[in-house]
Amino acid sequence: MKREKPSEEELEDIYQRFGDPEIKEEEIILSTLKYQGDYPECKGEVALLIRNKGKIVGIKHQGGEKFVLPMRRVWKDEEIIKKAEREAKEKTGFEIEIKSLKEIRKVRFEFSNEELERWHFLFEAESIGGNLEPEDMEGIEEAKLLEEEWYWNNGFYIIGI
């Protein structure tokens, strides 16, 4: 099984800064799909629950039906915390202060030819500057402040509107 997770040293640094988060495990069966492995190896994915004026930031991907929390893969040469901060700025326009690591979700994807475990890090953050004006709109149809109601569904943190 392929594992996309950070080094033990980086995990320890994150735990020291934010404490031990809730850890959840999930399996997503994609047995009709073949794993392509057509992107560089990563060490997980960051998702951002960004609060601004009592609401949360959601993005809708082009062709998407629902708003989701901003999230992005963390490549092997990137630091998880710095990636989260940069992703917030690029995809929402906000500078953030990360308040906590809400959860780590270890997701096991079962493809027809491969199993993959990817760690998702859900950070809670407050906007501390900037405006809701994404710097990088690639793949994004819209960014919006929404009521705080969200849930996990098959690899995404969906905002329930």
Question: pLDDT tens digit string along 71-107?
Answer: 999 999 999 999 999 999 999 999 999 999 999 999 8
The amino acid present at 40, given as its one-letter code, is P
- Structural domain count of the chain: 1
- Quick one: pLDDT at residue 153? 62
- Quick one: pLDDT at residue 33? 84
**Could you tell me the pLDDT band of residue 161, with boundaries at 50, 70 and 90?**
very low
pLDDT higher than 80, residue 39: no
CA dihedral 101, 103, 109, 115 (to 10 degrees): 70
Rounded distance between C-alpha atoms, residue 103 and residue 158, angstroms: 15
- Quick one: pLDDT at residue 139? 86
Rounded distance between C-alpha atoms, residue 93 and residue 91, angstroms: 6
**Could you tell me the pLDDT band of residue 29, with boundaries at 50, 70 and 90?**
confident
Give the structural domain span for 6. Answer: 2-159
Rounded distance between C-alpha atoms, residue 119 and residue 108, angstroms: 9
Average pLDDT across the chain, whole number: 89
- Quick one: pLDDT at residue 154? 53
Tens of pLDDT along 101-142? 999 999 898 888 888 888 999 999 999 999 999 998 888 899
Rounded distance between C-alpha atoms, residue 71 and residue 20, angstroms: 21
- Quick one: pLDDT at residue 152? 62
What is the residue-wise DSSP string for the chain? -EEE---HHHHHHHHHHH-PPEEEEEEEEETTS-----S--EEEEEEEEEEETTEEEEEEETT-SS-B--EEEEETTS-HHHHHHHHHHHHHSEEEEEEEEEEEEEEEEEESS-EEEEEEEEEEEEEEEE-S--S--TTEEEEEEE-S-EEEETTEEEE--
Q: Could you give the percent of the chain with pLDDT greater than 70?
A: 91
Domain containing 95 — which CATH number? 3.90.79.10
Is 100:18 a contact under the CB 8 Å cutoff?
A: yes
